[in-house]
Amino acid sequence: MPVAVKQGVTKLVPESSKLPPKPLATLAHMHALFDGLDMSNAFDAAVWGIASVAFWSCCRLGELVVPTASKFDPQFHATRGTGVRFGHSSNGTQTMSFRIRWSETSGFRGAKIIGVDNDEITSSVLALQHHLRANSSIPAHVPLFAYETTEGTWAHMTCDIFLRRCNSVWRSLGFDELSGHCFCVGGTTEYVLHGTAPEMVQALGRWCSQAFMDYWWKIDSILPTFLSGSVLSSRHKLLRSSTEKFRRKHGLSR
């Protein structure tokens, strides 16, 4: 279709038929998921570990789960034998870290996933510790977030299985259903809206400067859909101020 015709057709599409912005994973989503999962169940413990790490460590879901059971590749996916490290920062805050063999931003150079205990019930440090305890018999060569079954074996946590469980909880509690990318987006948004320096969020999410800036202009445009009243006014101003300072400091385009 010629470009001019395509643009003309686009203009004719009524506003009411255009797709709304995809919802973000919010802290309320995370609290609801924590309350709705059975933490004594090995499967739910794995689901919670993935959700919390994806949110607070700003991970793309594909970095933590496998697409299908048949497509698990230990040269590509993090395994249980991955060296998960728990420690403390200089101020005594508990931390966790592990390496993934592949990431969306660095390819096969891999990346280091970092989490810090934030005194939140949804802390990624606590969630990962619980997953490892609840699924302690998982062998070293299987995916990091595989889970124990009632038959005494283990199973892959695929993207589809993970999202179906999360969305079943949210649906039952009246929340929007989410896609995999909403965790990374939501966690990043949560950090910046609470005043975390953009440089720190950029490093956590492993973006280059311009990609991070492009990402944030998109987020800025959809936030009014999900925030309202005084929350929108104060936090939206903070976000715009922080990202504008980041843009000027690094000489980036809008």
- Give the confidence band of 103 by pLDDT, cuts at 50, 70, 90: confident
Q: What does the alpha-carbon distance between residue 95 and residue 84 come to, in Å, rounded to a whole number?
A: 11
pLDDT tens column, 112-170: 999 999 989 999 999 999 999 999 999 999 999 999 999 999 999 999 999 999 999 99
Domain coordinates in residue numbering, the chain: 27-176
pLDDT in the model for residue 217 = 58
Q: Yes or no: say if 112 and 99 are a contact pair by the CB < 8 Å rule.
A: yes
- Give the confidence band of 110 by pLDDT, cuts at 50, 70, 90: confident
Q: What does the alpha-carbon distance between residue 189 and residue 201 come to, in Å, rounded to a whole number?
A: 9
pLDDT in the model for residue 167 = 98
Q: Yes or no: say if 157 and 50 are a contact pair by the CB < 8 Å rule.
A: yes
Residue bearing the bigger pLDDT, 99 or 237: 99
Mean pLDDT of 171-185: 92
Q: Which fold has domain 27-176?
A: Topoisomerase I; Chain A, domain 3 (3.90.15)
pLDDT in the model for residue 30 = 97
pLDDT in the model for residue 12 = 43
pLDDT in the model for residue 129 = 98
Mean pLDDT of 82-103: 92
Can you state the angle between helices 27-36 and 159-172, rounded to 10 degrees?
90
Question: By three-state DSSP, how is residue 62 classified?
Answer: helix
- Residue 83: C-alpha distances to residues 30, 80, 107, 112 (Å): 26, 8, 19, 11
- Give the confidence band of 241 by pLDDT, cuts at 50, 70, 90: low
**Which stretches within 194-228 are classed as H helix?**
198-205, 209-226
